[in-house]
Amino acid sequence: MELGATVCTPTDPACSACPIASACEARRLGLQAELPEGTARRKPVPVTVAAALIQSGNRVLVVRRPDGAVLGRLWEIPQTALDAEGTQDLPRVLAESHGLAIVAGPLLAVVRHAITFRRIRVEVYAADLAGPLPLDAERVRWVTSAEIAALPISSMTHKILGASRRRQLPLALP
């Protein structure tokens, strides 16, 4: 393993420094610069996610991802899934997934995030509740910035919260 990390690297094998060069089949065949064969990387896929920043005083509403989901049980700002259609799906998705009735307001910020091959553009919208909160503190809750620091949240949620503190100019909805 050390040899592959330090001597026999894929981009620049140092055969002259290799302790097993005399037994190397790739060197004997003159293939050391061609091995290992690289694997084709998956092309990045652009994705747009809409997030609803719902605030009340100094508190923000967060929801918990379900068990078994990607990043399960982490708390986050309510948002659409990666396969949703952005802001136009935001009220419907939040009603279906978290029982939240919202009215989306102006665009507050845009956050960029990458996970594996996805290049995620998060549009953060101000939003207001249009109905009561579900009575499930294990899935939906109001938190202050001090309380959210103690919760398990993803790096994307950190970026969303940071961008919401550094508010950009409000933009009109499309």
Question: Number of structural domains, the chain?
Answer: 2
Report how far Cα 137 is from the mean position of its chain's Cα atoms. 24
Q: Are residues 5 and 91 in the same domain?
A: no
Q: Are residues 19 and 100 in the same domain?
A: no
Q: Are residues 3 and 86 in the same domain?
A: no
Q: Are residues 63 and 21 in the same domain?
A: no
Residue 171 lies in a domain: no
pLDDT of 5 strictly over 80: no
Q: What percent of the chain has pLDDT over 70?
A: 94
β-partners of residue 46 are 119
Q: What is the CATH number of the domain that holds 109?
A: 3.90.79.10
Question: What was the pLDDT predicted at 171?
Answer: 53
pLDDT of 116 strictly over 60: yes
Which residue, among 152, 171, 169, has the nearest Cα to 71 in the 3D structure? 152
Residue 173 lies in a domain: no
CA distance 60 to 145: 8
CA distance 62 to 122: 16
pTM of the model: 0.73
Provide the residue range defining the domain that includes 16: 1-39
Q: Are residues 31 and 55 in the same domain?
A: no
Q: Are residues 21 and 50 in the same domain?
A: no
Q: Are residues 69 and 145 in the same domain?
A: yes
pLDDT of 1 strictly over 60: no
Question: What was the pLDDT predicted at 41?
Answer: 84
- Where b means 16+ CB within 10 Å and e means fewer, 72-98 reads eebbbbbbbeeebebbebbbebbeebb
